[in-house]
Structure 1
Amino acid sequence: MMTLNRMFRVCVSRSLLVFSLALMPISLFAATPLDINTATASQFAAVMSGVGLKKAEAIIAYRDANGRFDSIEQLSSVKGIGAGLLARNKDLIQVVNEEETTN
């Protein structure tokens, strides 16, 4: 028969396991910066702090109208994206050169 202490430890360890598995996709996704030239609106909203679906859709619309981004800083041309938001997210996003994706 399990003691109360052992039952508590088992419950805590299993809860931590479930919690860590639930966060795994987020941590794996965040490990590789998001390519702003290929990301979907839902990916932008999920990864970038301060970017909801509306801003994410504005980024996609800007990219569709103006072509690929040459730099992360070019995102500031999108309405609602400022220097502070870019600074907060600079480690989460990147621009992948077209040559890198075709090789």
Structure 2
Amino acid sequence: MRTFFKTLALSLACISPLSFASPVNINTASADQIAAALNGVGPAKAQAIVAYREQKGPFTSVEQLTEVKGIGSSTLEKNRDQIQLETAAASE
């Protein structure tokens, strides 16, 4: 039984806290909110997302994020489940 609990504790310790983050709407979130929610996206990349959105308008697809300097397909795939384009209320 102790082995089970040790294994469970180690398994839980390996789970990234980022996997519990709330999804972020990249069309409305601030740079700080984007940086906090997305893995591998710090303040500079988050600000680039906001600047892109302000210059070109709202994102129409998640894939469009790769047009932002510093956001590649790897970053997109790590965060795909955390990215929203609109609120749940707006999509109903």
TM-score by length of 1: 0.64
Matches within 5 A, 1:15-94: 27=20, 30=22, 33-94=23-84
Structure 1: give runs of 5+ residues left out of the alignment: 1-22
Structure 2: give runs of 5+ residues left out of the alignment: 1-16
> 1:96 pairs with 83, 86, 91, which one?
86
Q: What is the root-mean-square deviation in Å for CA atoms of aligned residues?
A: 2.2
Identity of aligned residues (%): 47
Q: CA deviation at 1:67?
A: 0.3
CA distance in 1, matches of 2:26, 2:46: 10
Larger Rg: 1
CA distance in 2, matches of 1:93, 1:71: 10
Matches within 5 A, 1:9-20: none
C-alpha deviations, 1:72-94, integer Å up to 9, x for none?
Answer: 11000000000000000001111
Look up the equivalent residue of 2:71 and give its one-letter code: I
Runs of 4 or more consecutive aligned structure 1 residues displaced over 4 Å after TM superposition = none
